[in-house]
Amino acid sequence: MREAVHAAVIELLVSGETEAAIPRIAERAGVNPTSIYRRWGTAANLILDAAVSRLRATTPVPDTGSLRGDVEAWATGVERSLNAPDTQVLLPALVAAQGTDASPAEHLLVRLADLEQMLTVAAERGESTPPVEDLLDHVLAPLYLRALLRIPIEPGFGARLAARVLRECPADPDRGVVRGD
Amino acid sequence: MREAVHAAVIELLVSGETEAAIPRIAERAGVNPTSIYRRWGTAANLILDAAVSRLRATTPVPDTGSLRGDVEAWATGVERSLNAPDTQVLLPALVAAQGTDASPAEHLLVRLADLEQMLTVAAERGESTPPVEDLLDHVLAPLYLRALLRIPIEPGFGARLAARVLRECPADPDRGVVRGD
């Protein structure tokens, strides 16, 4: 049922119904509106849940053997996901949604969890790792600003940002931490 | 008239009327709806114009005598503007607005013009300057991502980002250009 409802809300948003209401979503998904109200409460919460779920599903966490390889591959996946037509609708909807028990920042927590996983694996290999905030600020933020303001992202931009923060601009030794000791 | 209409649309958005319609805005501003239709065409165009204008008005371009000083002071102004209650409403509205002859990216063009001005003045002093994209990606983007996802920005964050991109992480000599020669 969750997938059917997510698909319905995303289809409605993509088709231009920015004010998708729960009865309309229920009709499209072929479920009872009461079930949607019970599970999500408001359309804003449902939009946030659908957006977080759809945006996550398109960006698996890679395992290339090095932190730089992982973050470059992951940033390429994020870039591809941000360029997808449904994302270009979902992301502004996510930002505009004022959920009662969810917030747009929850989407970012999912991305941060991916990054933390890559950093933990790298630290277990003995690599020194930058703070996760560096990857948030200097890889994710430039990609998201473009997507949110509907500026096209050229292929390879995400990987270049990843390489820059991990190579050209290494973390201050006092700030970088080796994890997993 | 422009200022009265801008003030009206911002007040309506801040008070929670995310679907502010032109007749309602006209009533609040005390002007004829026809004048608004003639000048802006759609509510989305008006919201974009009001947002760009309000967000710009709060961030003057400084002249401290050095590029780093200028960008640090300017980033502090941007940070303050993003933390203001009306900005926290206007920015998501700007992102969600689908204007016909305006786009959310226009807001960024205003910011980029500010940065270009600082870079030109610095180059005229003989300072070497990074590409404007570096300041977009590594100063503006982290600030905007937080504002858009409603993550509080701690005071001093903007200045630290400016210092990092201009000092800790200098531009590649092949990429940085001295302007104004």
Whether A181 contacts chain B with CB within 8 A: no
- Average pLDDT, whole number, for chain A? 84
Instruction: Give A139's contacts in chain B (Cβ within 8 Å).
Output: none
| CATH number assigned to the domain comprising residue A60 | 1.10.357.10
How far apart, in whole angstroms, are the C-alpha atoms of residue B168 and residue A136?
Answer: 18
What would you report as the CA-atom Rg of chain A, rounded to the nearest whole angstrom?
18
DSSP-derived letter for residue A137 is: I
Whether residue A181 is contained in a domain is answered as: no
> Which residue does chain A place closest to B97, by CA atoms?
A92
CB contact under 8 A, A169 and B168: yes
pLDDT in tens, A161-176: 999 999 754 444 444 3
In a domain, B47, yes or no: yes
- The yes-or-no verdict on residue A16 having pLDDT over 50 is yes
Model ipTM value = 0.81
In a domain? residue B181: no
Q: How many domains does chain B have?
A: 1
Any domain includes B177: no
Q: At what angle do helices B141-148 and A141-148 cross, to 10 degrees?
A: 60
What domain range is A98 assigned to?
A: 2-168
Give contacts of B148 with chain A, Cβ < 8 Å. Answer: 95, 104, 144, 148
Percent of chain B with pLDDT over 90: 49
Over residues A116-147, the pLDDT tens digits come to 999 999 999 999 899 999 999 999 999 999 98
Distances (CA, A) of A99 to A105, B36, B140: 11, 32, 26
Convert the pLDDT of each residue in A79-108 to its tens digit: 998 888 888 888 888 887 765 556 777 778
- Reduced 3-state DSSP string for chain B: CHHHHHHHHHHHHHCCCCCCCHHHHHHHHCCCHHHHHHHHCCHHHHHHHHHHHHHHHCCCCCCCCCHHHHHHHHHHHHHHHHHCHHHHHHHHHHHHCCCCCCCCHHHHHHHHHHHHHHHHHHHHCCCCECCHHHHHHHHHHHHHHHHHCCCCCCCCHHHHHHHHHHHHCCCCCCCCECCCC
Q: Is B143 domain-assigned?
A: yes
- In tens, the pLDDT along B58-107 reads 678 899 999 999 999 999 999 998 888 888 888 888 887 765 556 777 77
CA distance B107 to B76: 18
